[in-house]
Amino acid sequence: MTQQTRNWQFDVTMDHEPRRTRAQIVLRAPEGYEFSGVGLAHRSGPARVSGYLALGRAMSDLTEELLEAAMIELEVEADRVWSS
C-alpha cells in the first residue's frame, strides 16, 4: 500500500469594518480546484470576537461547498458506472 501526501492551501481574508466583519476562506486543491466560503458577523464588541464568528461562518459555507462538490462527483461517477 502506497501512502500519498498532497498539500491543500487555505487563504483567509478578514475585513473589519465599523459595523461588521467579513471573512473569506479560499481552499486550493492540488488539482487546481478552488473552493470558497464567506461569513459575516455584526460587530458589536471586540473585533476579535466578530472575527471568530465571521470565520466560523465562512468555514461552514466552505464545508457546504465541499459537500456539494463531493455529491456532484459521486453522481457523475455513479452515472458513469451505471451507463457502462
pLDDT in tens, 44-83: 888 899 999 999 999 999 999 999 999 999 998 888 888 8
What order of strands is seen across the sheet that includes strand 9-16? 9-16, 20-28, 34-42
Tell me if 64 sits within 8 A of 38, measured CB to CB. no
What DSSP designation does 43 have?
Answer: -
**Residue 1 pLDDT > 80:** no
pLDDT at residue 81, rounded to an integer: 83
Q: In Å, how far are 7, 34, 49, 63, 79 from 76, measured between CA atoms?
A: 25, 19, 41, 20, 5
**Residue 10 pLDDT > 80:** yes
How far is C-alpha 6 from the geometric centre of its chain's CA atoms?
18
Query: Is 9-83 CATH 3.30.160.240?
Result: yes
